[in-house]
Amino acid sequence: MLRVLQAIWQADGAFPSGAFAFSYGIEGALALRRDMTLGDFEALVAAMLKRRWASYDRVALLWSYRAGGDLEAIAAVDREVEASTLIETLRTGSRRNGGAYLASHARLGQPLAIALRDDVQAGNCLGHIAVMQGAVWSELGLDEALAQLCSGYTAASGVITAAIRLGAMGALQGQGVLQRCLPLIEQLAAQEVPDDVELSSFVPFLDIAAARHAQADLRLFAN
């Protein structure tokens, strides 16, 4: 049961990881669609889970998890993520989020996190969040299933929390959306991830919204 508790600890929004400063395109999307309904928003979160998280972040997470602490192999996954993230603010946001996440685990004394943080500072590694999570969660003893559930949960709760903070919905409306996402996360996490699959992400509306957001004069989130 300890590994389940470790997973709960890592998925808890109170765990400091810098995630609260990123909306991963949601702030831009809400600015673009002023008439977005709660149903539209829920559909957008589902699309993000299916077509960005499951086929992209989750795959990078598992590759990094399977690297079993090998710094070279982790850095290779990290470069792959860097090269295949088209939108600049999503790319830099993922790196900064990963850097903050490593800062947390490094301060807590996790040896791989310390090594990765030093590698990022030395320029040997870029520190993308999904890759860093996969690496550290494997060290913490989460199994693949728990690592995926943590990742999917934090991805969904992160964008929903951002939307609540932007005033797009009430706190409880947001929790309703999150609750309805849980079966989808479970279902997506059950899909096999072979080692030779390609990273793929296709949520053009969110990508365009993130790109436009980068140009906005006024913004609360880093992406």
Partner 1 sequence: MFHALRVSDNEARDGASAARVGIGGPVGSGKTALIEALIPVLQRRNIDFAVVTNDLVTKEDAERLRRSGLIDPARVSAVEAGACPHTVIREDPTLNIAAGDELEARFPGLELILFESGGDNLASTFSLDLVDWWIFVIDVAGGDDIPRKRGPGLLRCDLLVVNKVDLAPHVGVDLDRMLADARQVRGTKPVIPTNLKSGVGVEAVVDAISAAVLFRV
**Residues 35-64 contacting partner 1, CB under 8 A:** none
Q: Which residue in the set 7, 10, 23, 55 belongs to the binding site for partner 1 (CB under 8 A)? A: 23
Q: How far apart, in whole angstroms, are the C-alpha atoms of residue 137 and residue 57?
A: 14
Tell me which of 165, 173, 176, 214 binds partner 1, using CB under 8 A.
165
Using rule CB under 8 A, residue 107 touches partner 1: yes
Rounded alpha-carbon distances, angstroms, from residue 208 to 6, 92, 221, 222: 36, 16, 16, 15
How many Cβ atoms from other residues are within 10 Å of residue 97's Cβ? 26
Q: Establish if 217 lies at the interface with partner 1 (CB under 8 A).
A: yes
Q: Tokens 């685990």 label which residue?
A: 105
Q: Which is nearer to partner 1, 26 or 203 (CB)?
A: 26
Determine the size of the site formed for partner 1 (CB under 8 A): 29
Decide: is 92 part of the binding site for partner 1 (CB under 8 A): no
Judged by beta carbon, residue 164 or residue 199, the one nearer partner 1 is: 164
Using an 8 Å Cβ cutoff, are 21 and 89 in contact?
no
Instruction: Of 58, 37, 51, give the one whose Cα is nearest residue 177.
Output: 37
Binding interface with partner 1 (CB under 8 A): 14, 16-18, 20-23, 96, 99-104, 106-107, 109, 117, 121, 162, 165-166, 217-222
